[in-house]
Chain A
Amino acid sequence: MSDAESPADTTTGGDSGDDPTFEPDEPNTGDSFEPVDVFPDSDDFDLRPGADSCYKCSTCDTNCPVAEVDDDFPGPKFQGPEQWRLKQTDDDYGVDDSIMDCSNCMRCDNACPSGVPLSQMHNTARGQYVDEQMSKTSVEYWRNRILANYRTSAWLASKVPRVANFAMNFGPARWVMEQTMGVTSEREFPAFATETFTDWWAAEGGAAGSRERAREARKRRGEPVDADKGIAYFHGCYAEYNTPEVGKALVRVFEHFGYEVVVPDQGCSGTPMFANGMVDDARRHAEVTVSSMADLVEEGYDAIASCTSCSMALRQEYPELFDIEGIDDLASHTFESVEYLRIHEDLSGAVREADVSDDVAEEFAYHAPCHARNQGLDRQAVELFRDLDGAEIEDVGESCSGISGTYGWKAEKYEKSMAIGEEMFEHMADADGETGMTECPTCAMQMEHGTGYEVRHPLELLETALVE
């Protein structure tokens, strides 16, 4: 019995409200009182403690970019704790279709004052919906699966990048893709690089080359040449196939600070798979990544990502969704690249002493990706670069860009995606800069799509500022 009930050894009969011996301000410490742990500690995958922590303030709902524009979307509070509870009480309860309209921006996590693991609930509900309720022969399933497995298509395309770049944006082909697959023809596919990041990396001498360069840098910096400074770079799919310049910038900036870089075997971070409920696909990739990265972590390397969704996946979604040996250690040793340098080096001091001429751009319109928020990184770039001579950086506001990875690529969600992004487009137009900046590759896509601006990663500006 709970401590809130009246003691059992008092008078019988009648309702307890009339019980003359019950004194609410007297301790219930008779022999019959035994405190009971009502909710025994459960493992990480039991979401009950999380559901019980929700006190219905609805603050998560005010952070949902979808609920703000979509009259049919019931919001994160329903998708999370409420739906979780419905699932427990009724064996026949089917997960509501609207779970597929959640874009997995994860802003609700950062909103909850009570620590409810909302995105974990959404990810598990979405996984269950796709597993049990979505037809595996439907166009939607295969469209989503192909979009979610971007790494596979990108790998193929990277073999013939020039052909792919032409074919993927060839009008009639895109019309057919929209008609048959439901992939919007409004967007331009991103260009594939003619040399992938890892090809470049191998040509630069790989880990051995990096060790040499790092030692040189330490000598220049007056640090012990054998200092224990090493990172394992998780480049993700986009820096590998589409924007290797971001990966190169990361390598050069870290080596500049005396870090040797290794680039281990890795799969996709899983971000597009979680968002499409393809949890098994995500697990397969996670197994590859965790097995190589966890060993490196044990050797003393930290895992560094340049994409905020990748770092988010490794540090938050992995331990929330998978039970793979070494996954917790990897999570607690994963950092976003600029964040890591802020913690371990005097990065703001270095930036303060640096200056840039106009070879990148002078003014940037910066958008903070949703996935940067839970990691506490949404103001990092603006606060760092406000001390950089020769560059102005302006935050274009707190709204979501609206693309949310594969979400905005779906024909039926394109309009919604653009409605969410409208506020960001307006703020970008108002900002002085005509070059965009963000850490997230798909936010960059949306920024470019909505404004025509070229979009850079903060690492590219850091490289220009700090590396000769």
Chain B
Amino acid sequence: MAIDSEVLVIGGGIAGMTSALSAARAGADVRLVSYKQSTLRHASGLVDILGYTPDGEGPLTDPYAAIPDLPVDHPYRTVGESTIRDAMALFDEAVPSYRGAHTDRNALVPTHGGTVKPTARYPASAAAGLASDERSVLLVGFESMVDFDGPHAAAHLEAAGVPFDVRGVTIRFPGDLRADAKVTRYAKLLDTDSEVSVGDRDRPVREALAERVGAELDGESRVGFPAVLGDDRAGTVRVALSESLGVDVFEVPMGPPSLPGLRLEDRLFGALDEAGVSIETGNPVVDYECGQPNGGDDRIERVFIEKNGARIPYSADEYVLATGGLVGKGVESDRERVSEPIFDCHVPHPADRYDWFETEAFGDHSFARFGVATDDRLRPTNADGGVEFENLRAAGSVLGGYDFAAEKSGSGVSIATGYTAGRGAAGVSA
């Protein structure tokens, strides 16, 4: 026996989750397996479609307008513009706490480093912080949290030429948390509005925080905080602070580990649960087996999950490979070659490894575009262009042909290809 489903999605990032959701919505019995818990909490929580062209032009005003000019092997060209729109509609419906769907145009969101990032969707918590808004801003950092420096971020935003006055301050977070307090500690205190000791008495933390920030306000009409304003009750925390301060409050997306990423992960898993998807994390898929008794080796029969030395078979009719790229370990390299570790799908790359990169650190590295090549149904292809397996589709950054970090296209490609792969696996033709 094996643990059986109609569709098995391998990978728990945004591509895997979108694949599983779209396959389940199309009526399939779906199981999602992930080596570890989702890596979405490593992400800022912003959902980009396309911020820059592969040549570095941008920030782009309308990502959709740039798609016809992308290279033919770019995953967006494989799935096409209307599919990207359908996929984003699925995302918008599954994650109602996000904003940006009212327009095709990119929003400009300030980051914790004080840069401005073009993005297609952003959490409601970042909405009052948009750089296109001309109202003045106060950025508040906490002494004990070195990941966000208010004055530094403000100076960078000013240098970037934002159309509003911006000022940064650093305050002590009420209760004086230790220097390496976790982002979840801040969030938990604010979620539960716990008492913290301030001076010689205990006070609810939201009220104490608002008071310290209020003393710094000098007519600004919105206040930005590092993205630690609550986890389960982030909306309530923001409204409470905003009401006490009498101005709009927003979060500035942060690096890992990121609460907006964590909240997005929770919401997407909630959507998967509602759609009846089975989910399992903690152990890697390490191998596969082909072959019906009479068949060839062009269909995957089962894959194996390794648990402490045991190999547990999981079988399905259709498989989706959403294991990530070089960072996510869905694509691996050694001195000899670049490879896809589970199914050994072909990953096109130059034979000489000194051609994999450029000399400049931020040069146009070809390794950034390494990943599997596919046919027009997202099935990985071999060196001759034939499909590797009839029943395997790929989604997200395991795909080659695009540099998500330079283009700011990571989430969008994952959502669009996840949507396509999931529906294809469920038997919906494109």
Report which A residues bind B (CB closer than 8 A).
24-27, 35, 57-59, 61-64, 67-69, 71-72, 74-75, 78, 110-113, 315-316, 319, 328, 331-335, 342-346, 373-376, 378-379, 383, 386, 395, 422-423
Contact = CB atoms under 8 A, between A and B. Distances in A.
A68 B281 contact: no
B308 A58 contact: no
Contacts of B278: 379, 383
**Interface hub of B178, B308, B352 (most chain A Cβ within 10 A):** B308
Contacts of B280: 376, 379
Given A57-B256, A58-B256, A69-B188, A379 B279 contact: yes
B281 A58 contact: no
Contact of A71 (B183, B185, B232): B185
Given A343-B3, A383-B278, A26 B257 contact: no
A343 B283 CA distance: 15
A386 B276 CA distance: 9
Contact of A62 (B183, B232, B276, B281): B183
B257 A59 contact: yes
Interface string B263-287: 0000000000100101111110000
A350 B281 CA distance: 24
A317 to B, nearest CB: 10
A78 B256 CA distance: 16
A59 B255 CA distance: 11
A129 B111 CA distance: 42
**Interface hub of B39, B262, B307 (most chain A Cβ within 10 A):** B307
A376 B282 contact: yes
Contacts of B369: none
Contacts of A334: 308, 310
Given A25-B357, A343-B2, A61 B308 contact: no
A432 to B, nearest CB: 16
Given A67-B184, A71-B177, A343-B312, A373 B2 contact: no
Q: Please report whether the interface of chain A is mostly helix, strand, loop or mixed according to DSSP.
A: loop
A278 to B, nearest CB: 23
B167 to A, nearest CB: 29
17 contacts: A24-B359, A25-B357, A27-B352, A27-B354, A59-B256, A62-B41, A62-B262, A64-B184, A71-B185, A113-B42, A113-B328, A373-B281, A374-B282, A375-B307, A376-B307, A379-B279, A395-B273
A346 B307 contact: no
Given A58-B257, A111-B37, A68 B185 contact: yes
Contact of A344 (B1, B33, B183, B279): B1
Closest 7 CB pairs of A and B: A332-B309, A376-B282, A315-B308, A62-B257, A376-B280, A61-B182, A332-B310
Nearest to A27: B354
A18 to B, nearest CB: 16
Contact of A68 (B33, B182, B312): B182
A375 B182 CA distance: 26
Nearest to A112: B36
A110 B312 contact: no
Contact of A75 (B182, B307, B329): B182
Nearest to B232: A423
A343 B182 contact: no
A113 B41 CA distance: 11
A336 to B, nearest CB: 10
A113 B178 contact: no
Contacts of A315: 307-308, 310
Given A71-B185, A374-B282, A331 B357 contact: no
Contacts of B33: 376
A282 B204 CA distance: 44
B262 A345 contact: no
Contacts of B273: 395
B37 A110 contact: yes
Nearest to B314: A343
B282 A67 contact: no
Interface in B163-212: 175, 177-178, 180-185, 188, 192
Contacts of B313: 343
Nearest to B177: A71
Given A27-B352, A63-B37, 20 more contacts: A58-B256, A59-B42, A61-B184, A62-B182, A62-B183, A62-B262, A64-B184, A67-B182, A68-B182, A68-B184, A68-B185, A71-B181, A113-B328, A113-B329, A319-B309, A374-B283, A375-B282, A376-B282, A383-B279, A395-B273
B133 interface: no
Interface in B337-382: 352, 354, 357-359
B146 to A, nearest CB: 12
A328 B308 CA distance: 9
Given A61-B184, A113-B42, A343-B3, A373 B282 contact: yes
Nearest to A329: B309
Contacts of B309: 319, 328, 331-332
Contacts of A74: 178, 180
Contacts of B232: 423
B281 A110 contact: yes
Contacts of A64: 182, 184
A110 B262 contact: no
A113 B282 CA distance: 10
A316 B281 contact: no
